[in-house]
A and B are shown apart, each in its own frame.
Chain A
């Protein structure tokens, strides 16, 4: 991809699995495109996941179809593999096996010197299933997860709340975790005017990214499920932060904190003896947006 006049040295590249609840709202789409346009990241496969049953059953399938749509618009259907993952959170699952989990295990256990980065853009059900089935998976990848923390006014953090049990399982495993908490990912705001200006002109995919956010903003404004959200002419593209941190380590934007266990509701109970994980409460949003806009322009510009 991309008409880039630079290359990424092999020793600096990484393998990537994207785990996404793409149909839930409108930011996963941007993150998927951003990752696919980044030469440092070799996307080995995309696993679709659920977003619980908050809007009825079938959320994983909707996510799968959304990923397919993006790949088609980027003309990457042949090159990038896409898998169906878990249809619901661990506690509601009848079937523990799925093709997404098998793929995660296969990729994680593969002998490959290139490090494997797992971008968790939704709940952690698929990774938890893979670690349950093959515990050695935990130490063979690094998880960058959009999730954790709490929202203003006691609103539950979405990705965590969609599978608390899975998150607890990962936190008590040996899997290295970078958690991008709500405070961090809510900060990555962008206005529709800027998206019209910098995304819409670039290819079929640019047009789609812009239109889907406008349409969904209208839809969620008429059918609100979070009070006061969305704002009207802006969005926060939460999942973009995961890609930005995979590309650039953001050495000064995180703290090491004990991996916490969520006991009830959305309360975090830090277990002080627990292993440390990286918790990001800020990120370099300018770097992420400008890098993404430039990649779109270089790849799809005239």
Chain B
């Protein structure tokens, strides 16, 4: 184990709650590892999220198992607070309980000078539940969300499609919100050759990150059940490591990369009515993806490099 030869001053640190559908495919894993390796981030909890029921009713449980696995491969078992979130989308279960949502409320209401970021790299279900139960959290935290088109036409987007009602509820609230939209996160492309070259030298976690993506690629290519919704996906020898971008934006404000846009309101087929909501949100349609990737690889190498 290596160590960083620099530290982050306390008044530059942030608290983070990371809400992830890690069981879904292969990019959340990178975001979890990247966040846990970043000294600026004090990780308060990782919350396992569902990802719809396309692959069965246990999506949230699958995410929970995957989060535990990542933490174990990093040698951090027992040191990270991993919680279970809602099992279903709001429409299917309007009154459900969520330990994750309860924790969001508890942490947001706690007095702490470090700003709190809720980073959602799956659907917004747990945030919607928390806001409904305790609207005061809206003044006490920032949200970064991977998902949602924001253009005039709308389009299919995976995280949005897994809970459209939750997204609308968050849009209708006044919680500060940054969205990395589909155009923004699609820049996070990376080839398997690069992952092999750079990750296999980074200990157990590096090997796991590489092998799970290769395995996920083979599984999804052989069983193209998603091809009806995501054309041609996966591509062959590359992947889009979408969720890493949310961590990078929490670490670095990307001041010149976003635009203020009216918060969208979504119909059930992901189309948008912007005129329903007056408030503005930050929308990122581009990113400093070089910064994100190189920072992540450097951190893995410094701590786990052989």
A248-276 at interface with B (beta carbon < 8 Å): 248-249, 251-252
B222 touches A9 (CB 8 A): yes
**Residue A25 lies at the interface, judged by CB distance under 8 Å to chain B:** no
Known: A286-B290, A287-B189. A12 touches B210 (CB 8 A): no
**Residue B214 lies at the interface, judged by CB distance under 8 Å to chain A:** yes
**Residue A13 lies at the interface, judged by CB distance under 8 Å to chain B:** yes
**Residue B193 lies at the interface, judged by CB distance under 8 Å to chain A:** yes
**Residue B218 lies at the interface, judged by CB distance under 8 Å to chain A:** yes
**Residue A298 lies at the interface, judged by CB distance under 8 Å to chain B:** yes
Q: Which of B186, B214, B236 has the most CB of A within 10 A?
A: B236
B238 touches A4 (CB 8 A): no
**Residue B234 lies at the interface, judged by CB distance under 8 Å to chain A:** yes
**Residue B232 lies at the interface, judged by CB distance under 8 Å to chain A:** yes
Interface size class, chain B = 20 to 34
Q: How far is A9 from B238 in the complex, measured between Cα atoms in Å?
A: 12
**Residue A53 lies at the interface, judged by CB distance under 8 Å to chain B:** no
B221 touches A9 (CB 8 A): yes
Tell me whether chain A's interface is mostly helix, strand or loop, or mixed.
Answer: loop
Q: Which residues of A are found within 8 Å of B186, using beta-carbon distances? A: 251-252
A8 touches B237 (CB 8 A): yes
**Residue B258 lies at the interface, judged by CB distance under 8 Å to chain A:** no
Query: Scoring A residues 1 to 37 as 1 if CB is less than 8 Å from chain B, else 0, what string do you get?
Result: 0101111110111000000000000000000000000
Q: Which residues of B are found within 8 Å of A40, using beta-carbon distances? A: 235-237
**Residue B274 lies at the interface, judged by CB distance under 8 Å to chain A:** no
Nearest Cβ in chain B — how far from A120, in angstroms?
Answer: 21
**Residue B94 lies at the interface, judged by CB distance under 8 Å to chain A:** no
**Residue A290 lies at the interface, judged by CB distance under 8 Å to chain B:** yes
A294 touches B198 (CB 8 A): yes
Q: Which residues of B are found within 8 Å of A248, using beta-carbon distances? A: 189, 191, 235, 238
A247 touches B193 (CB 8 A): no
Known: A251-B186, A294-B197, A294-B198. A38 touches B237 (CB 8 A): yes
Q: Which residues from chain B sit less than 8 Å from chain A, CB to CB? A: 182-183, 186-187, 189-194, 196-198, 200, 210, 214, 217-218, 221-222, 224, 232, 234-238, 289-290, 293
Q: Which residues from chain A sit less than 8 Å from chain B, CB to CB? A: 2, 4-9, 11-13, 38-40, 247-249, 251-252, 284, 286-287, 290-291, 293-295, 297-298
